[in-house]
């Protein structure tokens, strides 16, 4: 009998349930009497031994369901080697539960931090197969992560809805899109939503260039402008600071987020009325879009095939339209950033969209 543990870790997103369904349905075809341990609330469940057995029926009707049926939590990788408040060795506890439950494999769905811990467990002797989950699309080794396109759709809808009110009132609107370290989501939603200015972490902006772009639009008789701003957007001045200096400066910053700071600077420099919209966690919620349902099903089925073949220590990734196994040691600890010189950036600049540089 096969025993497989399912674990979802980090922030939730669309497609988690669809992907687990893809794994489970494929495995049950091969092993009708197999046992699936749904490890509750991410790595926390693996550390403290919390799980529930999942049956084939638990995976029916969840293709379109957002969130995760087994819960999730954030357990930062940097603290994994530190004992908990009661002195428990987290890594040893995870290995102990893996062995106690008699698992043949752990199926781990998550983002960058999740993959670091998954690789740690691989190094510690556990059989692991992973799946790339994040709305940020920043996991190394895969062209696309599930959850990304659904989040793009939601962020784009937010920008679409802003167009009419921005035009009616002749205002500058800033739509703040999720993405602390990378700008894929903001870039794609900004293009799809027809934003006039897109600011992402990989391209530090000059506020004067942003203002010039707004002035240019005003002189052309365009009475409104829309900025798609990543929550991790950063000015050239701040990008030049050391990590310690930047942390100190941000502690003193009175603004709730970068968009409010940019908004005030624009208002002071141009006199134009500025409004901020933050879609926030709506970008991670709701049902997965059809595209995500397809790649979730494909990635899940591919992960199941790896388990059937005993091919452990890999992530199921999507490259050039094909699902391929990617070694975990290549994935862990790497971010897939937007290249400022990439074709997509040059093409978008050709459309007249400003990146604030």
Write out the catalytic residue numbers: 136
Conformation bin of residue 4: beta by default, left when phi > 0, alpha when psi is -120 to 50: beta
What is 235-293 written as a DSSP string?
BHHHHTS-HHHHHHHHHH--SSSHHHHHHHHHHHHH---EEEE--GGGGG-SPPPHHHH
Please report which helix (H) or strand (E) contains residue 24, including its range.
helix 16-30
User: In 3D, which of 225, 223, 194, 221 has the Cα closest to residue 210?
Assistant: 225
Beta carbons of 44 and 73 less than 8 angstroms apart: yes
Distance CA 36, CA 107 (A): 10
**Euclidean distance between CA atoms 42 and 321, whole angstroms:** 29
| Helices and strands (DSSP H and E) totals, the chain | 13, 11
User: Cβ distance 181 to 161 under 8 Å?
Assistant: no
State which H helix or E strand residue 200 sits in: none
In the block, tokens 């141009």 appear at 270
DSSP state of 232: T
């Amino acid at each position: 009998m096969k025993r497989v543990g399912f674990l979802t870790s980090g922030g939730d997103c669309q497609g988690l349930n669809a992907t687990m369904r893809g794994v489970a349905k494929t495995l049950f075809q091969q092993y009708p009497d197999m046992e699936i341990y749904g490890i509750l609330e991410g790595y926390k469940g693996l550390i403290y031994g919390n799980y529930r057995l999942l049956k084939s029926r638990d995976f029916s009707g969840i293709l379109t369901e957002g969130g995760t049926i087994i819960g999730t939590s954030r357990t930062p990788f940097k603290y994994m080697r530190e004992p908990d408040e009661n002195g428990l060795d987290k890594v040893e506890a995870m290995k102990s539960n893996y062995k106690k439950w008699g698992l043949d494999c752990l199926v781990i769905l998550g983002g960058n931090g999740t993959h670091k811990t998954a690789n740690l467990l691989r190094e510690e002797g556990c059989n692991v197969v992973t799946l790339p989950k994040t709305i940020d699309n920043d996991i190394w080794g895969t062209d696309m992560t599930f959850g990304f396109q659904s989040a793009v759709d939601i962020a784009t809808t937010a920008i679409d809805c802003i167009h009419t009110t921005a035009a009616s009132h002749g205002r500058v609107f800033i739509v703040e899109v999720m993405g602390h370290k990378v700008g894929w989501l903001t870039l794609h939603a900004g293009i799809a939503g027809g934003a006039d200015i897109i600011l992402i972490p990989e391209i530090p902006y000059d506020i004067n260039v942003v203002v010039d772009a707004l002035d240019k639009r005003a002189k052309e008789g365009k009475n409104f402008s829309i900025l798609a701003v990543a929550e991790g957007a950063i000015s050239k001045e701040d990008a030049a600071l050391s990590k310690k200096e930047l942390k100190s400066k941000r502690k003193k910053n009175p603004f709730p987020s970068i968009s409010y700071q940019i908004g005030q600077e624009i208002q002071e420099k141009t006199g134009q009325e500025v409004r901020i919209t933050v879609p926030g966690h709506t970008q991670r919620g709701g049902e997965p879009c059809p595209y995500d349902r397809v790649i979730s099903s494909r990635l899940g089925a591919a992960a199941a095939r790896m388990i059937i073949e005993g091919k452990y220590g890999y992530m199921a990734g999507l490259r050039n339209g094909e699902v391929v196994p990617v070694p975990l040691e290549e994935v862990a600890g790497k971010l897939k950033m937007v290249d400022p010189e990439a074709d997509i950036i040059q093409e978008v600049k050709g459309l007249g969209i400003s990146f604030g540089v």
